Structure 1
Amino acid sequence: MIRHTVAFTLVHAPGSPEEQDFLTRGPELLRAIPGVTDFTVSRQVSPKSDFRFQFAMSFADEEAYAAYDAHPDHRGFVAERWQSEVARFEELDFVAYP
């Protein structure tokens, strides 16, 4: 199993309708892509990080993750929303340690 995570900060004002739209519509689209499981949206509460949110999802294996990455809905989301609405991000992918 692969746990794909991305912590990010949006260009939108906190609590704005644009922020809410991104955090609602993005997950709706991404959750529907085959192979995506356990999709969560989280809000950062620690003062140790300036990332405000996180999307996290799981994939059964590298093949499922690669299919997600190549899926037209994922590619479209990145091109149409992510690139213009995310100010900065950090992507981390995890597998279980032994």
Structure 2
Amino acid sequence: MKVNKPIIHSAAFILKHDKGSDEEAAFMVKAWDMLACIPGVKDFRILEIINDSNPYDYELEMRFDNEEQLEAYKAHPNHWDQVNKKGFVEEVWVKEVKDFLEKDTVVIRK
């Protein structure tokens, strides 16, 4: 589906690290440093999920103006350099995240 309106890209996740640990804090710094600076990323946020009915602990959330920017983000080497097996996905996410749910959404009514 081709989308030419703002997209909210998010990933809810559980870390392999204990809550409050130095490793958890380091993960959050790496996420911010590697992803928030990618061109097209807007309103980058790291959120803590607080409701008990949700199995995930945290969420990375960002906004893009359109699908083209989202696709450019996914292909950016800071996110995932598939050729050299580098970037946040390979170097951090795969090693430190136990489980996750990724979603892309658009606002249908405000």
TM-score (norm 1): 0.96
1:39-70 deviations in Å (ceiling 9; x for gaps): 11110111101200000000010110000000
Find 2:34's aligned residue among 29, 32, 39: 29
- Structure 1 match to 2:93: 82
Structure 1: which 4+ aligned runs deviate by more than 3 Å? Answer: none
User: What 5-or-longer segments of structure 2 have no aligned partner?
Assistant: 1-5, 81-86
Counting matched residue pairs gives 98
**In structure 2, which of residues 68, 77, 91 is the aligned counterpart of residue 72 of structure 1?**
77
Identity of aligned residues (%): 40
Larger Cα Rg: Structure 1 or Structure 2? Answer: 2
TM-score by length of 2: 0.86
* Separation in structure 1 between the aligned mates of residue 29 and residue 65 of structure 2, nearest angstrom: 24
Between 1 and 2, higher relative CO (CA 8 Å, sep ≥ 6) is seen in 1
TM-align CA RMSD: 0.9
- Any unmatched runs of 5+ in structure 1? none
